[in-house]
Structure 1
Amino acid sequence: MITEPELEGGWDDDRPAAPAREDGADAEVRRPRAPWLWALGGALVASAVWAALPVLQDRSFGAPRIAYRHSEDLCKETRLDTLLKTTAPAMSNHRAHRESPALDWSHCEYFTEWQEKGTSYQMQIMVELHKKTDPEAEFGVTPGVFGEVRSNSGEVEQVAGLGERALMTSRSPYTSGPRLQVLDGGAVFTLAVGWLGDTDEAGGEGPQPDEDAVKAAMIEDMRILMARLRR
């Protein structure tokens, strides 16, 4: 007849001896993490994934997201009121647009009145909707439909609060004025301002505008246009 000690001994022969518990502190160290901590960690990870999902979808799966509508008459959508108040009244405008399976674009160009001994301005605004290819890789690098609008020169700085990414290029010896570009999903917005000062009798260049004020007006008019075109 197998006694109780023999039964216990038979089961314990192949098992390692359990470590002795010296005090309550060791038990506390070995205690499994509270379930709510695991739940909280999982919730934080899930929240981060869901927050990043729209951007991942925009950049990784299929056609880029387009949150803006195409306009056949961009001059109607924006009169660049802030810019014109900062510079000079508009004398005329010119518009153009095109639609295709891969790209829809619309363009508007304003010219201000020429003033003797003053400064004349040219303003170009363009909206491109890329329906098949993500424009992120070429944003701010290659020329778009109008190469003169996207020429690369001058100091470039980031602009906060416009789309996913916005760049402001300052005037340089090779450009006639600043340029603002905004990327948001498959949409690219470009606003360029150029000016020419009338030469005075002494042969010097005419009055020049406050470039910082022009840039601030460009940002404001771009913000208004993007809000107007948003679906």
Structure 2
Amino acid sequence: MIGEPEIDGGWETASGADAAAEALPAGREHERERVRATRRPWLWALAGVVVSSAVWAGVPAVQERFFPDVPRLGYRHSPDLCDDFELKTVTQAAGRAFEGRQSGEGVFLAQDWSYCTVSTPYEDGTMMYGVELLVELHKKGDPAPEFATGPGTEPATRLDTDERQEVPGLGDRAVLDRQYAHDGSRLMVLDGGAVFTLTVQWFPVREAAAVDGKFPSGTIDENAMHAAMIEDMRALMTKLKR
């Protein structure tokens, strides 16, 4: 810490330079100007400290005034979401391997997004599954007011909010729509400016029934599937965490 004697000495350096300059005899004006110039770095340094302090002190106020809706983003953008989405637990719940992975992404001023879709192979007499994952990173506006307010973009989408369940301990808010798009469920998670949407759909393939007289049951253990969706979502969020 700088004590008072050092502070006083610093200020006296400037006034002492002026006194020394005035004491020089006539005919040595160039030396007088050189001596006076020794105080200028102190003045510039002091001005820089004052301006810098004012700028940094005003940053939070400026952000609050001009960018009040900028959300918190604690996740990185994934250019290939299928590489980051492992789908381990959902695969176990479905009892079938997924293939045909397709992904896409976009990076824009207001929002970054990426998606991944996978499905199980088409096979007679089995239950077929399709999975879609979408991650949206909102960089300008807060997604909370409109979170989970729409059914989706597919024409066949059906959303029964009476079947909606809140999922505790996942992001800022998480909801599970049990009846979504006919046979399927949707898990949506809001965490700051990030929105994660995981949809799993299933339907039986019945063409083999005429051969062996058996149909797929047309039902699955939905509770196990929902638990698997939550587990895989949690793993993905951990992986994308900054």
TM-score (norm 2): 0.65
Which residue of 2 is the match for residue 12 of structure 1? none
**Residue identity (%):** 39
Q: Does 1:158 align with 2:166?
A: yes
Please tell me whether the aligned partners of residues 171 and 191 of structure 2 are also in contact (alpha carbons under 8 angstroms). yes
Which of 74, 82, 86 lines up with 1:67 in the alignment? 74
Match runs of 1:94-173 below 5 Å: 94-142=102-150, 147-148=153-154, 151=157, 153-154=159-160, 155-171=163-179
Please tell me whether the aligned partners of residues 125 and 216 of structure 2 are also in contact (alpha carbons under 8 angstroms). no
Specify the SS of the correspondent of 1:213: helix
Deviation at 1:204, TM superposition (A): 6.3
Deviation at 1:161, TM superposition (A): 0.8
Q: Does 1:91 align with 2:102?
A: no
Please tell me whether the aligned partners of residues 136 and 196 of structure 2 are also in contact (alpha carbons under 8 angstroms). yes
Distance in 2 (alpha carbons) for counterparts of 1:129 and 1:151: 24
**Hey, which of these two has a bigger chunk of helix by percent?**
2
Gaps of 5+ in 2: 1-63
Indicate how the Cα distance of structure 1 residues 122 and 105 shifts in structure 2: closer, same or farther if over 3 A, else same: same
Match runs of 1:168-207 below 5 Å: 168-171=176-179, 174-199=181-206, 200-201=209-210, 206-207=217-218
Which residue of 2 is the match for residue 209 of structure 1? 220
Please tell me whether the aligned partners of residues 117 and 207 of structure 1 are also in contact (alpha carbons under 8 angstroms). no
Distance in 2 (alpha carbons) for counterparts of 1:62 and 1:229: 23
Deviation at 1:176, TM superposition (A): 2.6
Gaps of 5+ in 1: 1-56
Specify the SS of the correspondent of 1:175: coil
Instruction: Give the counterpart letter for 2:153 in structure 1.
Output: G
Please tell me whether the aligned partners of residues 141 and 152 of structure 1 are also in contact (alpha carbons under 8 angstroms). no
Distance in 1 (alpha carbons) for counterparts of 2:93 and 2:214: 26
Please tell me whether the aligned partners of residues 84 and 236 of structure 2 are also in contact (alpha carbons under 8 angstroms). yes
Distance in 2 (alpha carbons) for counterparts of 1:113 and 1:150: 22
Query: Considering only aligned residues, what root-mean-square deviation do their CA atoms show, in Å?
Result: 2.3
Please tell me whether the aligned partners of residues 71 and 106 of structure 1 are also in contact (alpha carbons under 8 angstroms). yes
Q: For each residue in 1:153-192, what CA deviation from the matched residue of structure 2 results, as whole angstroms up to 9, or x when unmatched?
A: 13101001100000000025x5230000000010000000
Segment drifting more, 197-206 vs 82-91: 197-206
Indicate how the Cα distance of structure 1 residues 223 and 108 shifts in structure 2: closer, same or farther if over 3 A, else same: same
TM-score (norm 1): 0.68
Deviation at 1:203, TM superposition (A): 9.5
Instruction: Give the counterpart letter for 1:130 in structure 2.
Output: H
Deviation at 1:150, TM superposition (A): 11
Deviation at 1:209, TM superposition (A): 1.5
